[in-house]
């Protein structure tokens, strides 16, 4: 056996070798992050970077974000709207460092956020393409709008029975209910809450579970609202999940989403009727009912006008009939200076029956003249009265 050396001598050798090979060199690597431990107050983060091939891990190395690089994590979370946590894929700049006590580490200097964003968007596009391809009857892309069975469902004239999927005691729940209850038109609603976790790794499964419960009672609801508040870093991945998105697209009750975000729409948003916030979903429902009330008011006005018009026309026709009757009465005729000729108490209509020498009576308004016919001749032309 050769002479032993001190461990520190060996580690010094390792350190020297590594330093001479890697000193100052910066590498860009892509890896999956695991075992993430963030120390927010110290602004430090320890993790492992791993690589997988066909589902099997083929390499792993420890890595650290020191305080001077911690802002990279904050930038990642802010831009990608997802937490920096186990399972995330990142591309970053690193330096290799060996410490005799702490061993081999990668010091992370910078995260390529644009690349991560691109990867996320690519995954999203792939999910969307798969949805259209695998559910052609329920999901069609027309122009740049996704037409789904669900978002093409006709809304009832009045929305009053709402199935609400939200997190218990959450801002989203409170905002939604407050907007509904405080509506200035005093519309009333029946809200049944299906409470669950709305974010986290298995949130999409929990939301799916609630949708299945609602589907069993679909006749009880006019619409479904899936809401959550915005605010701090939110994980939108549950709402980009393929299975949940497909389920929403084919759901038999119209779904509204108000999941509070300002980046591009989630895939579930695209499959449903999307509003940005819980408050906006509630406001839209109130507005929908207000539209119905306006139509009702319009119908009432039209009905009133139609009835009034019909009555006025009937009254006018009645008045006209009365005028004609009045003008046709003998009394009115006499008052206007005409006379009635009678012979032996019968009105003479045919003048040819009157012969010279006959006694006739000429009845005027106030007097009757008795006379004997002495002469009679035909008018040369038609009397033009």
Toward another protein, which CB reaches closer, 151 or 199?
Answer: 199
Query: Least distance (Å) from another protein to the CB of residue 256?
Result: 17
Q: Draw the binding track, 261-300, toward another protein (x: CB under 8 A; -: no contact).
A: ----------------------------x--xx--x--xx
Does 197 sit near another protein (CB under 8 A)? yes
> Looking at 96, 109, 195, 354, which residue binds another protein (CB under 8 A)?
195
Does 157 sit near another protein (CB under 8 A)? yes
Tokens of 11: 């580690």
Toward another protein, which CB reaches closer, 15 or 196?
Answer: 196
> Looking at 193, 341, 343, 348, which residue binds another protein (CB under 8 A)?
193
Toward another protein, which CB reaches closer, 108 or 177?
Answer: 177
Contact present, 290 and 283 (Cβ < 8 Å): no
Does 326 sit near another protein (CB under 8 A)? no
Query: Least distance (Å) from another protein to the CB of residue 264?
Result: 19
> Looking at 178, 310, 329, 368, which residue binds another protein (CB under 8 A)?
310
Query: Least distance (Å) from another protein to the CB of residue 99?
Result: 38
Residue 22 dihedral angles phi and psi, to the nearest 5°? -115, -5
Does 236 sit near another protein (CB under 8 A)? no
> Looking at 99, 100, 185, 323, which residue binds another protein (CB under 8 A)?
185
Does 177 sit near another protein (CB under 8 A)? yes
Q: Draw the binding track, 215-234, toward another protein (x: CB under 8 A; -: no contact).
A: -------------xx-x--x
3-class secondary structure per residue, the chain: CCCCCCHHHHHHHHHHHHHHHHCCCEEEEEEEEEEEEEECCCCEEEEEEEEEECCEEEEEEEEEECHHHHHHHHHHHHHHCCCCCCCCEEEEEEEEEEECCCEEEEEEEEECHHHHHHHHHHHHHHHHHHHHHHCCCCEEEECCEEEECCCCCCCCCCCCEEEEEECCCCHHHHHHHHHHHCCCCCCCCEEEEEECCCCCCCHHHHHHHHHHHHHHCHHHCCEEEEECCCCCCCCCHHHHCHHHHHHHHCCCCCEEEECCCCCCCCHHHHHCEEECCHHHHHHHHHHHHHHHHHHHHHHHHHHHHHHHHHHHHHHHHHHHHHHHHHHHCHHHHHHCCCCEEEECCEECCCHHHCCCCCEEEEECCCCEEEEECCCCCCCCCCCCC
CA-based nearest residue to 165, from 252, 253, 206, 226: 226
Residues 6+ apart with CB under 8 A from 38: 44, 45, 73, 84
Contact present, 274 and 243 (Cβ < 8 Å): no
Query: Least distance (Å) from another protein to the CB of residue 241?
Result: 16
Does 99 sit near another protein (CB under 8 A)? no
> Looking at 82, 148, 150, 210, which residue binds another protein (CB under 8 A)?
210
Toward another protein, which CB reaches closer, 302 or 322?
Answer: 302
Query: Least distance (Å) from another protein to the CB of residue 306?
Result: 4
> Looking at 306, 325, 347, 364, which residue binds another protein (CB under 8 A)?
306
Q: How many residues of this chain interact with another protein, rule: CB under 8 A?
A: 52
User: How far is residue 201's CA from residue 52's CA, in Å, rounded to a whole number?
Assistant: 20
> Looking at 190, 264, 368, 371, which residue binds another protein (CB under 8 A)?
190
Q: Draw the binding track, 104-143, toward another protein (x: CB under 8 A; -: no contact).
A: ----------------------------------------
Toward another protein, which CB reaches closer, 74 or 201?
Answer: 201
Tokens of 328: 């046709």
Chain residues that interact with another protein, rule: CB under 8 A: 156-158, 160, 167-172, 177, 181, 185-200, 203, 206, 209-210, 213, 228-229, 231, 234, 260, 289, 292-293, 296, 299-300, 302-303, 306-307, 310-311, 313-314
């Amino acid at each position: 056996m050769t002479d032993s050396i001190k461990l520190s001598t060996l580690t010094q050798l390792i350190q020297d070798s590594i330093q001479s090979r890697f000193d100052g060199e910066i590498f860009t690597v892509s890896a999956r992050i695991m075992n993430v431990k963030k120390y927010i107050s110290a602004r430090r983060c320890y993790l492992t970077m791993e690589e997988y091939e066909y589902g099997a891990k083929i390499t792993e190395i420890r890595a650290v974000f020191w305080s001077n690089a911690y802002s990279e994590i904050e930038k990642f979370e802010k831009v990608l709207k997802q937490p920096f946590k186990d399972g995330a894929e990142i591309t970053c700049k690193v330096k290799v460092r060996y410490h005799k006590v702490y061993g081999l580490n990668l010091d992370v200097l910078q995260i390529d956020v644009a690349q991560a964003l691109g990867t996320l968007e690519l995954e999203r596009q792939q999910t969307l393409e798969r949805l259209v391809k695998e559910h052609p009857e329920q999901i069609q892309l027309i122009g740049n709008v996704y037409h789904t069975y669900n978002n093409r469902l006709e809304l009832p004239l009045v929305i009053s029975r709402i199935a609400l999927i939200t997190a218990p005691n959450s801002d989203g729940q409170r905002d939604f209910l407050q907007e509904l209850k405080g509506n200035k038109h005093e519309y009333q609603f029946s809200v049944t809450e299906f409470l669950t976790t709305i974010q986290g790794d298995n949130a999409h499964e929990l939301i799916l579970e609630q949708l299945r419960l609602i589907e069993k009672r679909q006749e009880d609801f006019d619409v479904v609202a899936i809401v959550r508040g915005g605010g701090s870093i939110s994980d939108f991945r549950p709402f980009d999940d393929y299975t949940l998105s497909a389920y929403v697209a084919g759901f038999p009750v119209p779904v509204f989403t108000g999941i509070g975000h300002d980046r591009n729409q989630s895939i579930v948003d695209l499959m449903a009727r999307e509003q940005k916030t819980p408050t906006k979903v509630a406001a839209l429902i109130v507005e929908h009912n207000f539209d119905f009330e306006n139509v009702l008011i319009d119908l009432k006005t039209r009905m009133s006008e139609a009835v009034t018009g019909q009555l006025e026309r009937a009254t006018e026709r009645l008045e006209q009939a009365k005028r004609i009757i009045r003008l046709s009465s003998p009394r009115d005729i006499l008052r206007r200076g005409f006379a009635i000729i009678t012979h032996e108490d019968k009105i003479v209509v045919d003048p040819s029956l009157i012969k010279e020498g006959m006694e006739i009576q000429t009845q005027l308004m106030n007097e009757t003249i008795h006379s004997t016919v002495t002469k009679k001749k035909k008018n040369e032309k038609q009397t033009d009265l």
